[in-house]
Amino acid sequence: MDLLTFRFYAELNDFLPPAKRQVTFSHGCNGPVSVKHLIEALGVPHTEVGLILANGATVDFAYLVQPGDRISVYPHFATLDVSSLAQLRPPLPHPPRFLLDIHLGRLAAYMRLLGFDTAYPDDNHNDQDLAQIAHEEKRVLLTRDQGLLKRSIVIHGYCLRTRDSRQQLITVLRRFNLFNQVRPWQRCLKCNGRLQPIEKSLILHRLEPKTIKYFDEFHVCQACGQIYWKGSHYERMQKLVESVRSQNETFHRLEVLGGSLPISNLPKSEKL
């Protein structure tokens, strides 16, 4: 059996057993095998990986490990683009589109509220369906299921570590650097369709008497026909939007102060 060493950095350690976190450890393999295979065999989905170094040199997922290799694996950098050093996957589609698994319904609503194209399947979709949709529609797959993200046809994805939907939202915005792309009140919370303004006179037959009396500004979903106005839920949702924008200011200050991992913090033998 051939021996090599691994070292995983930052949040990638979330996927490792305690004894292998934040340390260099030995790992054995038989015969030629890709570094991607070994990384996932150790528990880390390939979608979480942003940079791989073999003996201090950048490599891609197809790299076949050699006996004695020193493999260093990094997550995606918040503000440093290393894609030109070793292309692990195609660039993220712009603007990014998302696909959430069945357990992330509230997160789906929050992301739609902020204007992001967010598909959310029904109970009839299994893991293979989700992986196929993400692949065919070039969507970023968000889930808490590590195994789902290890499917080879999934290109872009993220494994959420918390069950708190608001914290999930902030984590996704940070991971994909989306704060400046927030455009609230653009999408239907129900079906993800686009909203457009509509004259009140055209929908009077669909409104309750009190709604007709107290509200004059309306939007309608172009896909499902859902009607929206600034009713009792608007103020609560607007507070969420404002909270997200305040998080953006905090995140920006951290960037200025060096909140992401700079190149100078890499081990000397592994600087880019």
52: domain CATH number is 3.10.20.30
145 & 80 share domain: no
| Chain length of the chain | 272
Same domain, residue pair 22 and 82 = yes
Q: What residue type is assigned to position 250 of the chain?
A: T
Closest CA to 153 of 182, 115, 177, 127: 127
Is residue 238 included in any domain, yes or no? no
Whether residues 79 and 106 share a domain: the answer is: no
Whether 91 maps to a domain, the answer reads no
Same domain, 102 and 81: no
* Residue with token string 């090599």: 4
Structural domain includes residue 239:
no
In whole angstroms, give the CA distance from residue 75 to residue 180. 22
Residue 132: domain span:
98-182
Distance of CA 213 to the CA centre of its chain: 42
- 158 and 202 both lie in a single domain: no
Instruction: Tell whether 153 and 210 lie within a shared domain.
Output: no
260 domain-assigned: no
CATH of the domain at 154: 3.40.50
Domains: count for the chain:
3
Residue 256 belongs to some domain of the structure:
no
The verdict on 129 and 172 lying in the same domain is yes
167 with 208, same domain: the answer is no
pLDDT 10s per residue in the chain (272 long)? 789 999 999 999 999 999 999 999 999 988 889 999 999 999 999 999 999 999 999 999 999 999 999 999 999 986 666 666 677 999 888 999 999 999 999 999 999 999 999 999 877 789 999 999 999 999 999 999 999 999 999 999 999 999 999 999 999 999 999 999 999 999 999 999 999 999 999 999 999 999 999 999 999 999 999 999 998 888 889 999 999 988 876 655 544 444 443 333 333 333 33
261 within a domain of the structure (yes/no): no
Please name which of 74, 60, 64 lies closest in space to residue 260, comparing C-alpha atoms: 74
The values of phi and psi at residue 80, to 5°, are -105, 120
146 and 119 in a common domain: yes
Q: Please report whether residue 148 resides in a domain.
A: yes
- Inter-residue contact 179 to 251 (CB < 8 Å): yes
Q: How far apart are CA 104 and CA 160, in angstroms?
A: 10
Question: What does the alpha-carbon distance between residue 261 and residue 259 come to, in Å, rounded to a whole number?
Answer: 7
| β pairing state of 140-143 and 157-159 | parallel
148 and 171, same domain (yes or no) = yes
Q: Is 254 inside a domain boundary? A: no
Amino acid at 59: V
Checking phi first, is residue 246 left (phi over 0); if not, alpha (psi -120 to 50) or beta? alpha
Give the Cα separation of 149 and 127 in Å (integer).
10
pLDDT at residue 252, as a whole number: 55
Are both 155 and 112 inside the same structural domain?
A: yes
The pair of structure tokens assigned to 265 is: 């913090």
Same domain, 206 and 141: no
Bond into 18 cis (ω within 30):
no
